Amino acid sequence: MSSKEQITQKITDVFVKEFGIDRNLVKPEAKLFEELDLDSIDAIDLAVKLETETGIKLVESELRSIRTVQDVVEVISQRTAKAR
């Protein structure tokens, strides 16, 4: 995974396929809990699915800092850049 666009697309696909969220609602500024109706169990499921899809295991501090779709993209993007 290289560009933020690719990361955004992959994350959007996860929200649509795994959580049944309308693709049009998955916007960078969308708040995971308030707007996309995820709960704490969904957040764990999201972390597991992202690890499966990207090979990146999010640590607890990263999970606590994620509030929006863009936050997810940024964390995965930063971790991808560090892995290079």
CATH of the domain at 65: 1.10.1200.10
Q: Helix (H, G, I), strand (E, B), or coil: what is residue 84?
A: coil
How much is the pLDDT for 80?
Answer: 86
Handedness of CA 8, 29, 31, 75 (dihedral sign): positive
The pTM of the full predicted model, rounded to 2 decimals, is 0.90
- Domain count of the fold of the chain: 1
How much is the pLDDT for 2?
Answer: 62
Residue 76 belongs to what domain range? 4-83
Handedness of CA 66, 67, 71, 72 (dihedral sign): positive
Q: pLDDT tens for residues 6-60?
A: 999 999 999 999 999 999 999 999 999 999 999 999 999 999 999 998 899 998 8
Cβ neighbours, 10 Å, residue 82: 8
